[in-house]
Chains A and B, each alone.
Chain A
Amino acid sequence: MTGASPRIRALQAAMVRLTVDPSFGSALYKGDPNARTIQLDSGPYRLTDADLALFQAVDPRAWTTDRYRRARLVQAVVQEYAVTTALVGVAEVDAFFGSDAFARVLGHRGSMAEAFGDWAAGRCRGTTQAIVKLETAICRARRGFRPAGPGFVTKAGSEGVSVPEGTLAAWQQGLGALGGDPVAAAAQGVRWQAPALGRDKEHLLIEQDDQGGLGVHMLSAGVVGLLVYCRTPRSRGAVSKEARRLRISKKDVSKVLRRMQDEGMLMVRPG
C-alpha cells in the first residue's frame, strides 16, 4: 500500500483549511501564489492551474456550511491550554487557525494542540511564555507521541521542560484563579495576570502515571535537556555531543545515559 500522492495530500490539506480559514479561501480562489503552495512532510507542493480549477468549480460558500467547526477547534485547544488562554485571550487562540503553523499541521501529520503551543510560545515572552511551554509539555506527555526510527528516544509519555523558577507554582495558581472549571472560565474570556518569575530555571519531568494522570518531578538541567533532545530518536554520538553541550562532564555522560535508561526515562531502539 503506497498511499495517496503528494498531490492528493495537498488537495486534502487545502480542503480542510478552506473549512476553517475564510481568508485562506479568498486567497486560494484568487490564485494567490502563497495560498497555492502547500507545505507537506515530503516537501512543498504547488497547486497547479488544474488543481486550482477544481477548487474554483466549487461554490466557495460550500466549504463553510459548518459554521461552528472553527469554534470547536478553538474549544479543543482551550481545553488543554486553560491558563494560557486566560493569559493571551480566546482571540489569540482563534488566530492560530489562520496561521501557517496550523497549515503545517494539516500537511505534516502534525498535532494541532502541540503546534498551537509552539506557535503561541513564539509570540509571547516572560511568564506567559513559560506557562505556554509548561502546558505544551503537558500536552505532549498526554499524547506520548514519538517519531519512528532507531536510536536513543525519550520514553513516550515523559516530557522534559526547562522554565523559569516558579513556573509550576504560577500555573497552579492560575488554575486556582480560574475556579472549579478552569476550561469553561477560560473559554468564557476570564483573564488572569501571572506573577513575575525568578531568574533561575526549574527543570521538570512531566510523565503519565499508571492511572492515566500526570506526575511532575524536578530533575537536573542536563537530564531534562537530554529528555527534550531525545523527543526525536538520536544516535549515540549525537546524544553524547548534546550531553557535553548541556555541560555534563565527559566522564559522566555514559553514567548519566545508563541511569536514564535504568530509570525508564530513555529507551534505545534497535537499528
Chain B
Amino acid sequence: MSTFHERVQALPHLGLGVSTEYGATDRDHALDPVALRTENPAYAAFLEVGVEVAVGLDTHAVRWAERGWPTTFHFLDINLDDPTDFDPGWLDQVRQLVDVLKPAWLCGDAGLWHFGRRDRGHMLLLPPVLIPEAVAPLADGIAALRDAIGLEVFPENPPGAAFLGDMHLLDFFGQVAERADTGVLIDCAHLAMFQRARGHDPLTAFDGFPVDRVVELHIAGGTVRDHNGLAWVDDDHGRDVLPDTWQIAEHLMARAPNLKAVIIECERNPIDIVRPLFGETAHRWTGARP
C-alpha cells in the first residue's frame, strides 16, 4: 500500500467549507450552506456533513450531494479504539451514506463518542486518554476504518475542559498519525482549549509535530465561561474566534504543505453575522500559504 505522503497527492484541494449535521439548517437563525454558496462559492466550496449513522442524512445534505458539490463525511458515533464498534451493520450503513455523499474523505473527533453500547441517549464526546498506551488502539482503528470504507480517515483532536493523561495533545496525535500513516484534522479551537486548560501558550509543542500530515483545519468561535471559579472555553461555534485559535490557524496555514481544507464551524448563526469570518479566514489563509 502507498504511503500517506503519496496518497495525499491524489486528494482534492477543497478550500473553505462549512459544517452541518442532521437538522442543523432547519433551526431558527441557522446558516444555510446553499445560500452561502450561492452568495459566494468560495466561502462554501464544500460541506462537511456530521453523521450519526442511526440518524442518517437530512434533505439539505442529500440535495447538496445530488448537485455534485464536494463533501466530507464527519463521523459522530464511533469509538475508534473499540473493535466492537466496527460491527458489520454500522459499516454497511456508513458505506451506503458514503455512496450518497461521495465525500473526499472521512474525518471526525478521535475520542469517546459514546459510553456503554452504541445506543440512544449514550452519545457524548470526551477526549482520548493522553498516554502512550492509548496511541496504538486508536491508530489501529483509524487504519481499520480506512481499509473498511476505502477512503482516507483523518482523526480530529476533540474538545474538552478536562484532559486526562500526561502527554501533550499534539505529541499524542502526532504519534497516532505516524502509526496509522494518516493525515490529521486539527481543530484550532479545540487545541486552544487544550493549551489553556494545561496553562500552555497556544503554540506549545508544535516543534515535534508532523505538520506535513495536516490536511484539514477547523476554526470556530468560543466563549470563556466560569464554572465554580474555573475559567474554561465553551466551544459554542459562535462568531467570536479567540485570538489563540487564530494564532494556531495561522501557524499551520503557513507551515502545512498538504493543507487542503478549512472549515468555519458556525452552523448556528445567520449568514449576516458570520460572513466576516469567512472573509477573514480566506484572507489569512491566502496570506499565510507556504
Q: Which residues of A contact B (CB under 8 A)?
A: 1-5, 7-8, 11-13, 15-16, 18-19, 54-55, 57-59, 61-65, 67, 69, 73, 76-77, 79, 105-106, 108-113, 143, 145
Q: Are B137 and A2 in contact (CB under 8 A)?
A: yes
In the bound complex, residues from chain B placing their C-beta under 8 Å from that of A3 are 81-84, 137, 141
Q: Which residues of B contact A (CB under 8 A)?
A: 81-84, 86, 112, 115-117, 119-122, 124, 126, 129, 131, 133-134, 137, 140-141, 143-144, 161-166, 197, 225, 227-230, 232, 234
In the bound complex, residues from chain B placing their C-beta under 8 Å from that of A54 are 129, 131, 164-166
Q: Are B112 and A15 in contact (CB under 8 A)?
A: yes
Q: Are A143 and B119 in contact (CB under 8 A)?
A: yes
Partner of A62, one of B81, B119, B162, B165: B162
In the bound complex, residues from chain A placing their C-beta under 8 Å from that of B144 are 1
A77 CA to B229 CA, complexed, in Å: 31
Q: Are A112 and B82 in contact (CB under 8 A)?
A: no
In the bound complex, residues from chain B placing their C-beta under 8 Å from that of A145 are 117
Q: Are A1 and B133 in contact (CB under 8 A)?
A: no
Closest CB in chain A relative to B83 CB, distance in Å = 4
Per DSSP, are chain A's interface residues mostly helix, strand or loop, or mixed?
A: helix
10 additional A-B residue pairs with CB within 8 Å, beyond A59-B230, A109-B84, A111-B116: A1-B140, A4-B82, A8-B133, A8-B137, A11-B164, A19-B126, A54-B164, A62-B232, A73-B121, A112-B121
Query: What are 11 A-B pairs at a CB distance below 8 A?
Result: A3-B141, A8-B131, A16-B126, A54-B165, A58-B162, A61-B230, A62-B161, A65-B225, A76-B121, A77-B121, A79-B121
In the bound complex, residues from chain A placing their C-beta under 8 Å from that of B228 are 61
Q: Are A15 and B164 in contact (CB under 8 A)?
A: yes
A178 CA to B126 CA, complexed, in Å: 36
Q: Are B116 and A110 in contact (CB under 8 A)?
A: yes
A3 CA to B134 CA, complexed, in Å: 9
Q: A1-B86, A2-B83, A13-B115 are in contact. Are A7 and B232 (CB under 8 A)?
A: no
In the bound complex, residues from chain A placing their C-beta under 8 Å from that of B143 are 1
